[in-house]
A = this chain, B = another copy of it.
């Protein structure tokens, strides 16, 4: 029951064509989704430039392609994360405009320009192993209307390379910092900038990295006050939070 339907009902009460008792009964069971929820969701997608998203890992190529095609028809932007080259082939057959971002393991379809973010989102990572997560964040953030600066190869073991990028780091309005192994990069970057840092632990490492848990714990225990954390390898989620902040 939407705005128009409630208005109609009230008009019927006003005109007497529906009794107060009947109207009361219909309103009592007023489904919650008929209130402002749907619109909110809609407005939010519009304002934040959030695309429709498929988490492709664990799905078949056929499933990914089918979902992608259906989402594409809704007219907005579409993003499939954790996608393989083979999945892309299937998607491409169904929707030829889809693009593949190999390192990011992401398939995108851009049908509309998301509203532009107000500043730059810096996506920072240490080494080539963290690049898939960082690129996933970058691709996501760009599709959501943000200007992205990707700063790679700035691990804490070689501070000079990181310090050389200070200008870029400091001009970003919000930063996404990805790191595996000991996960120290967000803390060090957080100490260099005064913008919010979204930390993404990656599963890069072996042995005591425990699949990214070591990096995750490191980030949660950060001693700088401008860092918050998302799930291991969740470049997509970090980009969403960053984009949201960048659109404030």
Contact = CB atoms under 8 A, between A and B. Distances in A.
* Interface-central residue, A127, A156, A182, by most chain B CB under 10 Å: A182
A209 B222 CA distance: 10
A73 interface: no
Interface residues of A, number: 103
A116 interface: no
B159 A38 contact: no
Given A160-B38, A184-B182, A192-B159, A221 B215 contact: yes
Contacts of A129: 55, 58
Interface stretch (A88-96, A104-112, A145-153, A238-246): A238-246
Contacts of A231: 206-209, 220-222
A226 B241 contact: yes
Nearest to A185: B184
A10 interface: yes
B218 A218 contact: yes
Contacts of A223: 126-127, 155-157, 181-182
A205 interface: yes
A113 B181 CA distance: 31
- Identical chains bound together, number: 8
A156 B173 contact: no
Contact of A6 (B27, B48, B174): B27
Contact of A183 (B126, B167, B182, B198): B182
Given A163-B32, A181-B221, A230 B233 contact: no
B11 A20 contact: yes
Contacts of A233: 206-207
A13 interface: yes
Nearest to A32: B163
Given A41-B158, A214-B214, 16 more contacts: A6-B27, A14-B14, A14-B16, A32-B164, A35-B160, A182-B221, A196-B245, A198-B228, A205-B221, A208-B213, A209-B217, A213-B217, A214-B220, A217-B217, A220-B229, A226-B240
Interface of A: 3, 6-7, 10-11, 13-14, 16, 20, 23-24, 27-33, 35-38, 40-41, 43-44, 47-48, 50, 55, 57-58, 126-127, 129, 155-161, 163-164, 166-167, 170, 173-174, 180-184, 187-188, 190-192, 194-196, 198, 201, 203, 205-234, 236-238, 240-241, 244-245, 248
